[in-house]
Structure 1
Amino acid sequence: MAEAIRLTGSNRNTLKLHFRDLIERGHLELHGSGRGVWYGLKSV
């Protein structure tokens, strides 16, 4: 998340909403939980 904030200049909460939307649309996968969470491209 920190790298995404640095690269985009966006707010953390804004990025969380966009990532959640991408997960729901099937573009990203959520791995882990809490502070250890990371996102990856969804495998076909």
Structure 2
Amino acid sequence: MSEKMFSKEQLEQLRSFPDIGRDELITYFTLTPADVAFVDPGRG
């Protein structure tokens, strides 16, 4: 017997993107100088 792991509502939530404002995008996705040095060690 096969049972579903998630309800339809849960699947919809998992498959969608959360509502993110511009300020949140800038806050969470802007690299710090330490991040840049880690990603490009020849530069840092």
Shorter-chain TM-score above 0.5: no
- What is the TM-score with the length of structure 1 in the denominator? 0.30
- What is the TM-score with the length of structure 2 in the denominator? 0.30
Name the structure where strand makes up a greater proportion of residues: 1
Which structure has the larger Rg over C-alpha atoms? 2
Higher relative contact order, chain-length normalized (CA < 8 Å, sep 6+): 1
